[in-house]
Structure 1
């Protein structure tokens, strides 16, 4: 009996250790929201509406041509990867404090980035941090609107 309890405890610890190393996954009820707040710029976020539970956020100063990509991860990583429709790119990233135990991983790219253009064309997007990939359901209309706001004039 003790042996079974010890093995169960070890298995539970191993599973929880694995779970903490992954990038958060999309959950039911998560969706893309697009908004622009004066002084904060345009933000396209995938998460639970009306909450701080955001899996992925793209933000920009309108007309700047630059896009900031932010995602939460349990692992600190020097790179963040985006992929869409067969295009893939890796960006230098910085890690900082996030919500709870997760870190906020941030990287910069251009509004004209081929991966973001493909996202606007097909609605597909995935993010990978420290080898853990999360596929995010797309919204072509919001992706196009966001990138239009961000593009340099």
Structure 2
């Protein structure tokens, strides 16, 4: 009887995991990477190295003073993205990018001098929320500071 109950519970958990909407999530093996490519600007991304599996990407034209923040989102997501670092948080009006199979991309602009981004550069703490579901991502203050210094206008 216990075995049948345990198997039923496991099956229910597996099915509910498959039915969940796609949301950003940090997984083992993910890390921050910082790149600056001529013509593309600076990019600070959190994801699996050498893959397209990216949870969060920030990009900017050097000296522009503006950062474009992009995150994975479930299909039908509201055009809103929230960033939080320590006691600071800000909600940004966003645009929904092209669909990626079951999900989409949410993109928002923020000033490079934004209080949340400055706090992220100081502490390394950052969480991104789409549709009210928050995902903390481990920080790399050195890369964040270097990225924001490149973006500053």
Same fold (TM over 0.5): yes
The equivalent residue for 1:72 is 72
Unaligned runs of 5+ in 2: none
Question: Distance in 1 between the 2:120 and 2:99 partners?
Answer: 25
Q: Which moved more, 1:94-103 or 1:83-92?
A: 94-103
What is the deviation of 1:25?
A: 1.2
The equivalent residue for 2:96 is 95
Distance 1:23 1:11, change over 3 A: closer
Question: Distance in 1 between the 2:146 and 2:100 partners?
Answer: 28
TM-score in terms of structure 1 length:
0.87
Deviations 1:38-87 (A, max 9, x none): 11100000001111010000000000000000000114122100000110
Structure 2 counterpart SS, 1:121 = helix
Structure 1 counterpart SS, 2:147 = helix
Structure 1 counterpart SS, 2:94 = strand
Equivalenced residues, count? 145
Unaligned runs of 5+ in 1: none
Find runs of 4+ consecutive structure 1 residues off by over 3 angstroms. Answer: 7-15
Question: Distance in 2 between the 1:58 and 1:14 partners?
Answer: 31
TM-score in terms of structure 2 length:
0.87
The equivalent residue for 2:142 is 141
Question: Distance in 1 between the 2:17 and 2:49 partners?
Answer: 29
CA contact (8 A) 1:22 1:132 kept: no
Superposed CA RMSD: 1.8
Question: Distance in 1 between the 2:55 and 2:61 partners?
Answer: 21
For residues 8-27 of structure 1, the aligned pairs below 5 Å read: 12-17=14-19, 20-27=20-27
